[in-house]
């Protein structure tokens, strides 16, 4: 019984942050390469920083440079430093299918990544505008 319970808890916890079927995705915009979505229910703030889960749904599959597998979507948790206009990825997963579907191509945890500037007219700028205006 303990093994079944432990497996259930592990499975539930491992799916929670990136289960695209439960997310309330809001489309922010698109370009020739991708459609950008955010899940406003995942916004959390701490002082001048805010975190949000976002999804990049690629119109044409890319390729993971390490595994050489096709990637059609990326779902990630990013942290934004609103006054500094910067962001950093905390965790992201690449998926073989669109909108977080299909096989997980890579699972990347980057809690110590450096903050990078938010570039105007990039997908990060669109997400920044949503999450930092709520602050």
Do 79 and 51 touch, CB atoms closer than 8 A? yes
One pLDDT digit (tens) per residue for the chain, 135 residues: 433 333 333 333 344 444 455 679 999 999 999 999 999 999 999 999 999 999 999 999 999 999 999 999 999 999 999 999 999 999 999 999 999 999 999 999 999 999 999 999 999 999 999 999 865
Return the closest-CA partner of residue 58 out of 120, 102, 114: 102
Please count the structural domains in the chain.
Answer: 1
- Domain enclosing residue 113, as ranges: 2-134
CATH number (domain holding residue 29):
2.40.128.710
**pTM across the whole model:** 0.81
Do 116 and 92 touch, CB atoms closer than 8 A? no
Instruction: Return the SS3 of 129.
Output: helix
Average pLDDT taken over every residue of the chain: 86
């Amino acid at each position: 019984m303990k093994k079944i319970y432990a497996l259930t808890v592990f499975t539930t916890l491992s799916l929670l942050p990136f289960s695209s079927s439960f997310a309330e995705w809001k489309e922010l915009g698109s370009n020739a390469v991708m459609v950008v979505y955010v899940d406003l229910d995942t916004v959390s703030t701490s002082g001048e920083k805010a975190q949000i889960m976002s999804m990049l749904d690629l119109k044409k599959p890319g390729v993971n440079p390490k595994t050489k597998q096709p990637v059609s979507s990326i779902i990630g948790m990013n942290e934004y430093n609103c006054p500094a206009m910067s962001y950093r990825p905390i965790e992201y997963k690449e998926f073989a299918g669109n909108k977080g579907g299909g096989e997980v191509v890579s699972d990347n945890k980057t809690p110590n990544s450096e903050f990078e500037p938010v570039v105007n007219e990039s997908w990060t700028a669109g997400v920044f505008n949503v999450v930092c205006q709520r602050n």
